[in-house]
Structure 1
Amino acid sequence: MLKKTLLAAVISTVAVTSMIAPSYAEPGSNTLKASQVFSGEGKTTWAKLDNGQFTAWGSNYTGTFGNGYDGVYSIAPVYVPLDFKQIVDGFNHAVGLKEDGTVWTWGMDSIKNSVSKTPKQLPGVDNVISVSASQENTFALKKDGTVWQWGKDSENMPAPVSGIQNAKVIDSGSFHSLALTADGEVYEWSADKSVTKVNLNHIKSINAFHSANVAVKDDGTVWFWASDQPDKPAQVNSLHHISEVALSEFGYLALDSDNRVWLWKPGDNHTTNVVLDGTAKHIGGGQDYVYALLGDGRVLAWGNNENGQLGVGSLKKVIEKPTLVAKPIGISINGKEAVMSLSPVIINGTTLIPLRGVFEQLGAKVTYDAKKKLATIVKGKLNIQIGLQGASATVNGESKQLPEPAQSFSDSIFIPLRFIGETLGYQVGWDPANRVISIDG
């Protein structure tokens, strides 16, 4: 059903509406500035910042952040200790390519049914220039133009994909992959590794998603086909002068030669321009959201947000309009950068921090009674109890007013930052220029 919906949506785009102004603010200190953004089939997004640091946001249930944590999601970017030239999300696992041509993976291993929370190098794989990932497999494009795969379909051992030579680009959907060769031809293969040539030529870019595929020709026209119909590509008649296309369940994006981004959705019979200023330089998307990287490094995201996959610091489940991704909030504890599984968030002007992550690094013991919805923090003679959505907390039996009620999301409890200083006697500071919280004492 999804495949038919995708096909109908793409080939029915025959009219163009008037341009719609984007809804985002001018640059500010709370806005993320990135040089690269990475995503894939799932709900995790990574960004390389201008200073070389990496951040991640969205789903981290299977450890795809690569920061040693799992089982959570983050609605705002969190700093992660990664350094890769390319990262792709295979839904439950992630793949990273380093500058030296080595390949690293982390997240869920579908064969061993285990989770690696930090990147591990894949042995026997080198000289790689690009990677892609489906839900159960990983693919690598080598300098010599050959494509290799490993995972469930190759018994977790690197094996060449026969029938493909001189490839220059690869991409993967949920259970199939594409390769674009240097002479502009496209090849498709699936679980049985059978390779089929797509009935297209003069192609300059490709994109695979779920069971759908899109290719852009040298002349800027866009062509779509379902993964089991490589002999029946159809042109998207309303799109011209396109350089790049990205697909997701939320909608499909196209970037044109004037750096404008066009959006159309399943069931629509028209195409809508959503970025007027012509400053976009890259587009992408995950399972059910899309994003645009602007020329000045800002990132706009919109779509579904139930796992924080937009990175805008909002608890809204769906955000229809392009919204700026937030700059990460760092935490320094006694002068040392704290590695956090979740980012602090700002709600109603109050900064909330993840209770367990911060208090445990301050030497406190944290427990949670799910039935009573009550968190207890013990450090020395200090006993603190905080109930969810309550306006107060109890400190050694004495009620204390909270500047903002405690919140619960991503299976974690967030409490007001100011409460730490008031109850534990720590000095709490805020560096607005760098968005860093300091906790000293």
Structure 2
Amino acid sequence: MENGNVAAWRDNNYGQCIMPEELTNVKAIAAGYSHTVALKEDGTVVAWGRNDADQCKIPSELTNVKAIAAGYNHTVALKEDGSVVAWGNNSYGQCYIPTGVTNIKAIAAGNCYTVVLKEDGTIAAWGNNNYGQCNIPADLINVKAAAGDGFTIALKEDGTVAVWGNNKNGQCNIPAGLTNVKAIVAGDMHAAALKEDGTVIAWGLNNYGQCDIPEGLKNVKAIAAGERHSVALKEDGTVVSWGYNGDGQCNIPGGLKDVVKIDASSDTTYVILEDGSIVGIGNKNIIIPSMYSFLNTEVSISPEEIQKGEDATLIINASINGTPLIGTSEIGNASYALDVDGQTLININTKASDIYEIKIFDENGTLIKKKNLKLAIPKILGDLNNDLTVNMLDVIIVAKAFNTAPEDPEYNPICDLNGDNVINISDIVKIAMNFNISYL
């Protein structure tokens, strides 16, 4: 949507669909095999999900980014000055930027290889070349866009398409008469093209119907291709998806509208909403569907100054644009219904934990919010090592700093219990007054 929200739904085994909290003002999204990358309006980049090859480890001082791409387990960024930065798995040299690669206007990341489109309309590619996907056709010029995943597809200025690389399932066999194309995408073993008239054509592997365009699909303004599914964004801001749906990536959330951009990779679908924030939905602990962009949750405890081990009440309030949420809350394995005011009162004993993970679900059982509440339990005076008991360990800590002042190297400010800037007998007395007091 034009607000920059993002929604995601799919397998979430590496947390690639659990959006970082407070991620807003997003203008572009890129989904790798098991990691996700977002480009913010300020030109900075955020990444999350699988990080075994440091594909989510953003290079320090990376700024002024204008485009991003995510491969199998590497990430690429295009800067405003036309230079390219890449990080993550480099087993095929996909993160080594070749000398002379400058004046770049677009990027793509495939399965262990990188593709760039230069300002002069030519393409360069490097990395894994097992299917010849990095062997650019000699006569290929006047290119508008390029994308690849085991094979590479290029859109020429005249609206025709060129494809090369892995053709095991006919993904390089361009449909006869394909012209007037304005956008192209590449899945794992299928490709799709968006024509100027708003219709879509797809070809290649079709084992899950990823190339079977839904009947009546028209007025499309953008397309995306995942590993085995396809996605279309319509002019009215709605989304259509088809193909493999084993992880719910084609289950478009009810009420999803005002979408401005889409992306897909592996078995993931992403959309950007118009306010620049990110939300997600799915069937495997994927959180927050787009219709909950304005979800407000408040969690408090009564009494506020609770002692360790005392009974207390957690108070949970949930609403959307001021309307109470119908649903449930959950702490641990226990579920509690939200009442007509969107509120739940939960009795707890603080001896169990200092931190409580709270989940909130809508009436359909979709997880839409997850947050932690840390209790503000008063500290026992004299519990210097924070083990919830005043004992000989605390006396030993004071003894090590005894008769010292701030200018002494052995001085330990936590031992100055009376605040006189000297560790002395009065501090020992303070500990003795609470000796053997415990919250355990």
Q: What TM-score does the superposition give when structure 1 sets the normalisation length?
A: 0.55
Say if 1:291 and 1:299, in contact at 8 Å, map to a contact too: no
- Taking a change above 3 Å as real, the CA distance of residues 425 and 163 of structure 1, as seen in their structure-2 partners, is farther
Secondary structure class of the residue paired with 1:149? strand
How far is the alpha carbon of 1:164 from its aligned partner?
1.6
Please give the alpha-carbon distance, in whole angstroms, between the structure 1 residues aligned to 2:228 and 2:377.
40
Please give the alpha-carbon distance, in whole angstroms, between the structure 1 residues aligned to 2:188 and 2:75.
16
Match of 2:75 among 88, 94, 106: 94
Letter matched to residue 355 of structure 2: E
Match of 1:404 among 337, 340, 355: 355
How far is the alpha carbon of 1:297 from its aligned partner?
1.9
How far is the alpha carbon of 1:40 from its aligned partner?
3.7
- Taking a change above 3 Å as real, the CA distance of residues 188 and 142 of structure 1, as seen in their structure-2 partners, is same
How far is the alpha carbon of 1:52 from its aligned partner?
4.4
Counterpart in 2 of 1:287?
266
Match of 1:190 among 160, 165, 171: 165
| 1:148-181: CA deviation from partner (whole Å, max 9, x where unpaired) | 111132999x9754232110111112x1111011
Task: Indicate the percent of aligned positions where both proteins have the same amino acid.
Answer: 25
Please give the alpha-carbon distance, in whole angstroms, between the structure 2 residues aligned to 1:223 and 1:67.
36
Say if 2:43 and 2:65, in contact at 8 Å, map to a contact too: no
| 1:264 is the counterpart of 2:242 | yes
How far is the alpha carbon of 1:259 from its aligned partner?
1.6
| 1:108-128: CA deviation from partner (whole Å, max 9, x where unpaired) | 11236xxx9xx8754321111
Say if 1:208 and 1:214, in contact at 8 Å, map to a contact too: yes
Please give the alpha-carbon distance, in whole angstroms, between the structure 2 residues aligned to 1:320 and 1:145.
40
More strand by share: 1
Say if 1:205 and 1:215, in contact at 8 Å, map to a contact too: yes
Match of 1:180 among 155, 161, 170: 155
Say if 2:104 and 2:118, in contact at 8 Å, map to a contact too: yes
Counterpart in 2 of 1:61?
52
Unaligned runs of 5+ in 1: 1-21, 24-29, 69-78, 306-315, 328-347, 350-390, 393-399, 408-413, 427-440
Please give the alpha-carbon distance, in whole angstroms, between the structure 2 residues aligned to 1:417 and 1:120.
44
Say if 1:88 and 1:132, in contact at 8 Å, map to a contact too: yes
- Taking a change above 3 Å as real, the CA distance of residues 304 and 135 of structure 1, as seen in their structure-2 partners, is farther
Say if 1:402 and 1:419, in contact at 8 Å, map to a contact too: no
- Taking a change above 3 Å as real, the CA distance of residues 61 and 416 of structure 1, as seen in their structure-2 partners, is farther
- Taking a change above 3 Å as real, the CA distance of residues 97 and 122 of structure 1, as seen in their structure-2 partners, is farther
Match of 2:223 among 230, 241, 245: 245
Counterpart in 1 of 2:325?
none
| 1:226 is the counterpart of 2:204 | yes
- Taking a change above 3 Å as real, the CA distance of residues 198 and 167 of structure 1, as seen in their structure-2 partners, is farther
Q: Larger relative contact order (C-alpha < 8 A, sep ≥ 6)?
A: 1
Letter matched to residue 290 of structure 1: T
Please give the alpha-carbon distance, in whole angstroms, between the structure 2 residues aligned to 1:80 and 1:402.
39
Counterpart in 2 of 1:150?
126
Please show how residues 393-432 of structure 1 align to structure 2 within 5 Å.
Answer: 402-404=353-355
Q: What TM-score does the superposition give when structure 2 sets the normalisation length?
A: 0.55
Say if 1:55 and 1:80, in contact at 8 Å, map to a contact too: no
Please give the alpha-carbon distance, in whole angstroms, between the structure 1 residues aligned to 2:128 and 2:189.
18
- Taking a change above 3 Å as real, the CA distance of residues 165 and 51 of structure 1, as seen in their structure-2 partners, is closer
Please, what is the CA RMSD of the aligned residues?
4.6
The count of corresponding residues between Structure 1 and Structure 2 is 293
How far is the alpha carbon of 1:137 from its aligned partner?
1.2
Secondary structure class of the residue paired with 2:120? coil
Letter matched to residue 402 of structure 1: S
Counterpart in 2 of 1:140?
116
Please give the alpha-carbon distance, in whole angstroms, between the structure 2 residues aligned to 1:227 and 1:187.
18
Unaligned runs of 5+ in 2: 1-6, 9-20, 296-314, 317-348, 359-370, 387-413, 415-440
Letter matched to residue 270 of structure 2: Y
Please give the alpha-carbon distance, in whole angstroms, between the structure 1 residues aligned to 2:39 and 2:375.
30
Letter matched to residue 57 of structure 1: W
| 1:109 is the counterpart of 2:85 | no
- Taking a change above 3 Å as real, the CA distance of residues 325 and 425 of structure 1, as seen in their structure-2 partners, is farther
How far is the alpha carbon of 1:298 from its aligned partner?
3.0
Secondary structure class of the residue paired with 2:129? helix
Please give the alpha-carbon distance, in whole angstroms, between the structure 1 residues aligned to 2:51 and 2:252.
32
Letter matched to residue 296 of structure 1: D
Say if 1:283 and 1:291, in contact at 8 Å, map to a contact too: yes
Say if 1:223 and 1:236, in contact at 8 Å, map to a contact too: no
Secondary structure class of the residue paired with 1:153? coil
| 1:360-416: CA deviation from partner (whole Å, max 9, x where unpaired) | xxxxxxxxxxxxxxxxxxxxxxxxxxxxxxx99xxxxxxx75223699xxxxxx997
How far is the alpha carbon of 1:296 from its aligned partner?
2.2
